[in-house]
């Protein structure tokens, strides 16, 4: 089957993806120093850098929410349980036998069912948990209009535990994600797509969507 190069990841999407990767990596690196696992920046600087990265991360999230809502791209992340088993079978068995990918990537459906479920979980559970526990960690005694007691939590322990659980889940996700990046049509095809925006998609699959989105740019691949 022939294939075409299709513009699948737009500029903001790639910017958001790489900024998010850098910030989460940096937040994890400085965070686990704060946790006491190693010493690199020194505790005080680790906290300072962690706070700066956290504000940048929140800013990025605000822009990303705006972009996803205004472009309708949020629909990519609505999970479906269809083909979940086929996708799991592929990652556990098929991939080691050179079996074909069970689901085809298209411009309007870039994520396989397992990705949809995982990213949805990250977006509505893990990242909100990380950000909200992080903000409570920062401001748990911050005076409010209602007086300091309004959010005067007696102990940081719970917050620290939730923040650390979210951090561990994010690191586990990063490690799995790095491995899965290599499981595209070639070892580097997914990485190239997120760098350049273009990915080779099977003929026929992209066409129906090319009609749907006049902005999709397609190049022939020999
Ligand atoms: C907007 C997001 C975030 C905010 C506001 C935030 C804020 C904070 C704050 C205030 C602390 C405590 C610093 C201190 O002891 O003075 C902390 C610790 C920590 N953060 Fe974050 N953080 C955020 C995101 C993240 C992310 C994404 C990760 C990891 C991927 C992470 C990992 C950690 C870890 C491991 C600790 C040490 C926890 C402990 O030992 O209690 N943070 N964070």
Percent of the chain with pLDDT over 90: 52
CA distance 153 to 175: 34
Closest by Cα among 215, 142, 176, 206 to 2 = 206
The model's pLDDT over 4-57, given as tens digits with 9 standing for 90+, comes to 889 999 999 999 999 999 999 999 999 999 999 999 999 999 999 999 999 999
Burial string for 54-77 (b: 16+ CB within 10 Å, else e) reads beebeebbeebeebbeeeebeebb
Q: From the CA of 138, give the closest atom in ligand 1.
A: 10
Q: How many residues does the chain have?
A: 222
How much is the pLDDT for 4?
80
How much is the pLDDT for 213?
40
Nearest CA to ligand 1 atom 37: 35
Q: From the CA of 137, give the closest atom in ligand 1.
A: 10
Using only C-alpha atoms, the chain has a radius of gyration, in whole angstroms, of 21
The model's pLDDT over 168-221, given as tens digits with 9 standing for 90+, comes to 999 999 999 999 898 887 889 899 999 999 988 776 544 444 333 434 444 444
How much is the pLDDT for 216?
40
Contacts of 200 (CB under 8 A, 6+ apart): 3, 4, 5, 6, 185, 189, 221
Nearest CA to ligand 1 atom 19: 31
How much is the pLDDT for 207?
42
The model's pLDDT over 53-78, given as tens digits with 9 standing for 90+, comes to 999 999 999 999 999 999 999 998 99
How much is the pLDDT for 164?
98
Burial string for 173-202 (b: 16+ CB within 10 Å, else e) reads beeeeeebeeebbeeeebeebbeebbbbbb
Distance 180 CA to ligand 1 centre (A): 26
Percent of the chain with pLDDT over 70: 84
Nearest CA to ligand 1 atom 40: 35
- Does 149 score more than 70 pLDDT? no
Is the CB of 130 inside a 6 Å radius of any atom of ligand 1?
A: yes
Indicate the average pLDDT of the chain. 84
- Pick from 21, 27, 29 the residue to mutate for probing ligand 1's pocket: most ligand atoms within 8 Å of its CB: 27
Which residue would you say has higher pLDDT here, 151 or 190? 190
CA distance 220 to 154: 63
- Does 96 score more than 90 pLDDT? no
């Amino acid at each position: 089957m022939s294939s075409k190069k299709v513009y699948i990841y737009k500029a903001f999407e790639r910017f958001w993806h790489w900024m998010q990767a850098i910030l989460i990596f940096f937040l994890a690196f400085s965070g686990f120093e704060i946790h006491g696992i190693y010493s690199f920046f020194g505790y005080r600087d680790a906290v300072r850098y962690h706070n700066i990265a956290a504000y940048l991360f929140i800013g990025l999230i605000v822009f990303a929410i705006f972009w996803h809502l205004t472009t309708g791209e949020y629909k990519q992340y609505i999970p479906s349980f269809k083909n979940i088993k086929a996708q799991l079978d592929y990652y556990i068995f098929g991939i080691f036998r050179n079996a074909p990918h069970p689901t085809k990537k298209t411009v309007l459906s870039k994520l396989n069912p397992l990705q949809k479920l995982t990213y949805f979980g990250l977006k509505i559970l893990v990242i909100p948990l990380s950000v909200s526990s992080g903000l409570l960690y920062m401001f748990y005694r911050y005076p409010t209009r209602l007086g300091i007691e309004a959010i005067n939590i007696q102990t940081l322990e719970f917050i620290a535990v939730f923040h650390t659980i979210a951090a561990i889940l994010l690191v586990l996700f990063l490690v799995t994600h790095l491995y899965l990046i290599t499981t595209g049509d070639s070892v580097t095809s997914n990485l190239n797509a997120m760098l350049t925006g273009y990915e080779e998609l099977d003929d026929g699959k992209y066409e129906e969507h090319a009609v749907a989105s006049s902005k999709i740019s397609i190049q022939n691949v020999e």
